Structure 1
Amino acid sequence: MHDPNCLFCKIIAGRLPSKKVHEDEEIFAFHDIHPWAPVHFLLVPKLHIPSMAQVDAGHAGLLGRMMALAPRLALEQGCNPYPEGGFRIVVNTGGEGGQEIHHLHLHVMGGPRPWLKG
């Protein structure tokens, strides 16, 4: 299921360009166009889920795979290893939560500090 008007659905479908980090049957990852940190990419489910507010128990496997994928991709993209290095995962939900694109996505950010934000 996808939304033909959704920016991230268009990126996943290849209708808009992106700097791809990873793709498999369920997940697409690409660099953020306005990075807040030296490493900043998004993990996006291919299934159109508007936000964390719409997640239910049926999405647990997908979200688990996204969270398990994040550490490997963070290292591949240049984050330094734990414990001195590391990364941050942020999920903005709704207007008051800072969500700008209404397609569930995880921000993965890392690299030497200070960062632009956070």
Structure 2
Amino acid sequence: MDIDAYSGPDFYCDLAIPHPERLEVVHEDELVLAYHHTRPFWEVHIVVVPKRHIGSLTAVQAEEEADIRALLRTVQSVARSVEDAHGAAGVLTNLGRYQDSKHLHIHIYSGALR
């Protein structure tokens, strides 16, 4: 399946997590994947996603605590690297209608909108 042509409900479970070799990976471990966005909105645009399917930040359950802790550790580390390299970084997640892919993911960005 072509990454650029994907239009399904969960890009992360369907393409990103099973095929990290198609991505520009920043970090990967057993719980988390971080990579440069395939269609960046900002000059620097990295997505961090738990490998376990979690619908959104507001859908997190107690049994997913290890996944969320690993996700936040990775977000902190990647955001620090972006901030150090570019002087600033933003961290963002979306909910409800704002969330195109129904899988928790966090954007780390810096620079002008593209």
TM-score class, shorter: 0.7 to 0.9
Deviation string 1:10-51 (CA, Å, 9 cap, x unpaired) is 221118822211110100111112212221110000001111
Q: Report matched runs for 1:64-79 at 5 Å.
A: 64-76=69-81, 79=82
Structure 1 residues 40-97: Cα deviation after superposition (integer angstroms, max 9, x where no partner): 1100000011112211333333223222222322354xx2429x823111010111xx
- For 1:70 and 1:86, the matched residues in 2 are separated by 14
Give the Å deviation of 1:108.
0.6
What RMSD over aligned residues (CA atoms) do the two structures have, in Å?
2.6
Partner of 2:92: 90
Letter in 2 for 1:42: V
The answer for unaligned runs of 5 or more in structure 2 is: 1-8
Tell me the amino acid that sits aligned with residue 50 of structure 1.
G
**SS of residue in 1 equivalent to 2:52:** coil
- Report % sequence identity: 29
Query: Matched residue pairs, number?
Result: 105
Q: Is the 8 A contact 2:52 2:67 kept in 1?
A: no
Query: Which of 60, 63, 67 is residue 62 of structure 1 equivalent to?
Result: 67
Structure 1 unaligned regions, length at least 5: none
| TM-score of the two chains, using structure 1 as the length reference | 0.73
Q: Which of 22, 37, 43 is equivalent to 2:42?
A: 37
Q: With structure 2 as the length reference, what TM-score do the two structures score? A: 0.75
Write the distance in 2 (CA, Å) between the matches of 1:41 and 1:86: 14
Aligned pairs (5 A) from 1:10-29: 10-14=15-19, 17-29=22-34
* Structure that is richer in helix per residue: 2
What is aligned with 2:113?
Answer: 116
Runs of 4 or more, structure 1, over 4 Å off, are none
Query: Is the 1:30–1:41 Cα contact (8 Å) retained in structure 2?
Result: yes
